[in-house]
Chains A and B, each alone.
Chain A
Amino acid sequence: MSVSVSTPLLSASRLVKRFGDFVAVGGIDVEVQQGESFGFLGPNGAGKSSTMRMIGCVSPVTEGELRIFGLDPATHGKQIRARLGVVPQMDQLDEQLSVEDNLILYGRYFDIPRAECKRRAKELLEFVQLTDRAKSSVEPLSGGMKRRVTIARSLINEPELLLLDEPTTGLDPQARHVLWDRLYRLKQRGVTLVLTTHYMDEAEQLCDRLVVMDQGKIVAMGSPRQLIQEHSPREVLELRYSAGTNEQRALEVDGIGHRREVLPDRVLIYADDGEAALADVHARGSRPESVLVRRSSLEDVFLRLTGRSLVD
């Protein structure tokens, strides 16, 4: 079964998830097209995982409408799940089984014949570069390797839509880049990716389009480039003063650039030209302990939209 180009692969309108009185997702509208790579960016507790669990057809929708492959999770959960791949926040691998057996057993849950599971497991382990670990047990593997096993496992049913809940949280930089590379290849193969993250670099790397979520609501939507252009000047000047004096020293640089943001550890100045802003700072006689001029990022967008940083 294939979805025609005009129908979105995933659509949610006024989607709500409540746990008792607590509103985890407060009415969001989202559409994801086939082949797209779509992200939910937000801090912990923004409602990203609750949204993902509704899309994964394991957590029932409280209110609103959700369609995946044009089907309703309430009535077609099984059929939808059969076509999804899920990479959960925590790995959920069976540590007593070998890497290969984890994949084969999982494939059996999809009613894929054992021989076929074996063939796919071999291919997938090659894809995530773990062929040499096929017979090893999962337990001693590194965090990044386990993550790759989980991704391989999620692909065993050749899903049309892959859901990734914080795919690289807790991994070291090198492991993250290996993972990003693999996910990028999947995207090139035409697999639709929907992911959550609280890393702006991850969103910039992987997402064609994303929504910024905060406290269960969508506060902005667009491509990473669009969002940065719309919500933040081109460059950011970061100033670090000695500890505890940021508030006070920030007054010295008042009026420089478009906007100023005082964080506990640094002062940010948003400007079209960071170097020029720095020259102004020096001209006023302000002497920060260190300075950095960088391009503005999604982190700045988030800060602008919510007044808080992404990673606390």
Chain B
Amino acid sequence: MVGSFLQPLLYLLGMGLGVGALVDRGDRSEQLLDGLTYFQFLAPGLLATTAMMVCANEALWPVMGGFKWMRGFHAQAATPLSPGEVAGGLALWHGTKALISVCGVALVLVLFAETRSFGILLAVPFGALTGLAFATPLSAWSSTRQRDTSFPAINRFVIMPLFLFGGAFYPIEQLPDWMESVAEFTPLWHGVELCRGAVHGRLEFGSAVVHVAVLASVALVGWLVARVTFARRLAA
């Protein structure tokens, strides 16, 4: 919680104020960001990126540890719990963890007049859902791995690029067309759009439904796959 409060705060101060001072100086800056200051543009996206980072971390090494090192999942599987319930309980924990961190970021947003709004209340569950869309597929992946060699690569080549190119720091229209299309397929972009729209009260119902549907489907499919992969791993 403390980390989820401090890290976005640093990003906001560093990027929001520093880069913001540059961006907002341009003549057409108002149009560029749909009438938002850079600070206003950046801040809500951090709800989604923080949830993503937290959940990605939780779904890699700790999940492997649950099978291999601390073996907590094996301990659970020895009780009446089924492997599917073990996977479900984990998803529930990841959702909770995402919610807690998103609340930390929300506190940061409340601190600044530029982002303070009732829309934050709506953005919080959107942020948590974004986290879950990363938690369940990555948990499923981790449960099939015997070694953690792929995990740093996931961080470097999936999570970091999404953080940079997923629409949190600038509109994805700025990207080359092909990258823009890729970005539109990633859960993070949908989460960022939802959170930004919610905080600034500009969410359209139709697009909100699409964004939520995408995030929920990814989370759901990840969970269903994890139920199967957990059962396989625990029965081996």
Q: A58-B235, A59-B235, A92-B70 are in contact. Are A106 and B80 (CB under 8 A)?
A: no
- Within the assembled complex, what's the spacing in Å between the Cα atoms of A157 and B135? 32
- Within the assembled complex, what's the spacing in Å between the Cα atoms of A102 and B159? 33
The smallest C-beta distance from B229 to any residue of chain A, in angstroms, reads: 15
Q: Does B111 lie at the interface of the complex (its beta carbon under 8 Å from any beta carbon of A)? A: no
Option from A81, A88, A95 in Cβ contact (under 8 Å) with B79: A81
Of chain A, the residue at the smallest CB distance from B75 is A92
Is the pair A94, B80 in contact by a Cβ cutoff of 8 Å? no
Q: Does B2 lie at the interface of the complex (its beta carbon under 8 Å from any beta carbon of A)? A: no
Cβ contacts under 8 Å, B71 to chain A: 88, 90, 92
Q: Does B3 lie at the interface of the complex (its beta carbon under 8 Å from any beta carbon of A)? A: no
Q: Does B23 lie at the interface of the complex (its beta carbon under 8 Å from any beta carbon of A)? A: no
Cβ contacts under 8 Å, A94 to chain B: 70, 72
Is the pair B78, A110 in contact by a Cβ cutoff of 8 Å? no
Is the pair B74, A88 in contact by a Cβ cutoff of 8 Å? yes
Q: Does B82 lie at the interface of the complex (its beta carbon under 8 Å from any beta carbon of A)? A: yes
Q: A78-B82, A109-B80 are in contact. Are A88 and B75 (CB under 8 A)?
A: yes
Of chain A, the residue at the smallest CB distance from B74 is A92
Is the pair A56, B78 in contact by a Cβ cutoff of 8 Å? yes
Is the pair B80, A78 in contact by a Cβ cutoff of 8 Å? yes
- Within the assembled complex, what's the spacing in Å between the Cα atoms of A78 and B81? 7
SS class, residues of chain A in contact with chain B: loop
- Within the assembled complex, what's the spacing in Å between the Cα atoms of A95 and B69? 11
Q: Does A82 lie at the interface of the complex (its beta carbon under 8 Å from any beta carbon of B)? A: yes
Is the pair B236, A81 in contact by a Cβ cutoff of 8 Å? no
Q: Does A60 lie at the interface of the complex (its beta carbon under 8 Å from any beta carbon of B)? A: yes
Which of B75, B81, B236 has the largest number of chain A CB atoms within 10 A? B75
Q: Does B7 lie at the interface of the complex (its beta carbon under 8 Å from any beta carbon of A)? A: no
Is the pair A109, B82 in contact by a Cβ cutoff of 8 Å? no
- Within the assembled complex, what's the spacing in Å between the Cα atoms of A79 and B80? 7
Q: How many B residues face the partner with a CB closer than 8 A?
A: 15
Is the pair A106, B234 in contact by a Cβ cutoff of 8 Å? no
Q: Does B76 lie at the interface of the complex (its beta carbon under 8 Å from any beta carbon of A)? A: yes
Q: A78-B82, A90-B71, A94-B70 are in contact. Are A109 and B235 (CB under 8 A)?
A: no
CB interface residues, A 98-116, toward B, < 8 Å: 106, 109-111
Is the pair A109, B79 in contact by a Cβ cutoff of 8 Å? yes
- B48-87 interface mask toward A, CB cutoff 8 Å, 1 = contact, 0 = none? 0000000000000000000000111011111111100000
Cβ contacts under 8 Å, B82 to chain A: 77-78
- A66-102 interface mask toward B, CB cutoff 8 Å, 1 = contact, 0 = none? 0000000000011101101010101011110000000
Cβ contacts under 8 Å, A79 to chain B: 80
- Within the assembled complex, what's the spacing in Å between the Cα atoms of A111 and B85? 13
Of chain B, the residue at the smallest CB distance from A107 is B79
- Within the assembled complex, what's the spacing in Å between the Cα atoms of A127 and B103? 43
Option from A56, A78, A84, A92 in Cβ contact (under 8 Å) with B72: A92
The smallest C-beta distance from A65 to any residue of chain B, in angstroms, reads: 19
Q: A59-B235, A78-B82 are in contact. Are A109 and B76 (CB under 8 A)?
A: yes
Residues of A within 8 A of B (CB): 19, 56, 58-60, 77-79, 81-82, 84, 86, 88, 90, 92-95, 106, 109-111, 157
Q: A58-B234, A88-B74 are in contact. List 20 more A-B contacts (CB 8 A).
A: A19-B236, A58-B74, A58-B77, A81-B78, A81-B80, A82-B79, A84-B78, A86-B78, A90-B71, A92-B70, A92-B71, A92-B72, A92-B74, A92-B75, A95-B70, A106-B75, A109-B79, A110-B79, A110-B80, A157-B79
**25 pairs across A/B with beta carbons < 8 Å?**
A19-B236, A56-B78, A58-B74, A58-B77, A58-B78, A59-B236, A77-B82, A81-B78, A81-B79, A82-B80, A84-B78, A88-B74, A88-B75, A90-B71, A92-B71, A92-B75, A94-B70, A94-B72, A95-B70, A106-B75, A109-B76, A109-B80, A109-B81, A110-B79, A110-B80
Q: Which 8 pairs between the two chains have the least Cβ-Cβ distance?
A: A109-B79, A92-B75, A86-B78, A92-B71, A82-B80, A78-B80, A81-B80, A58-B77
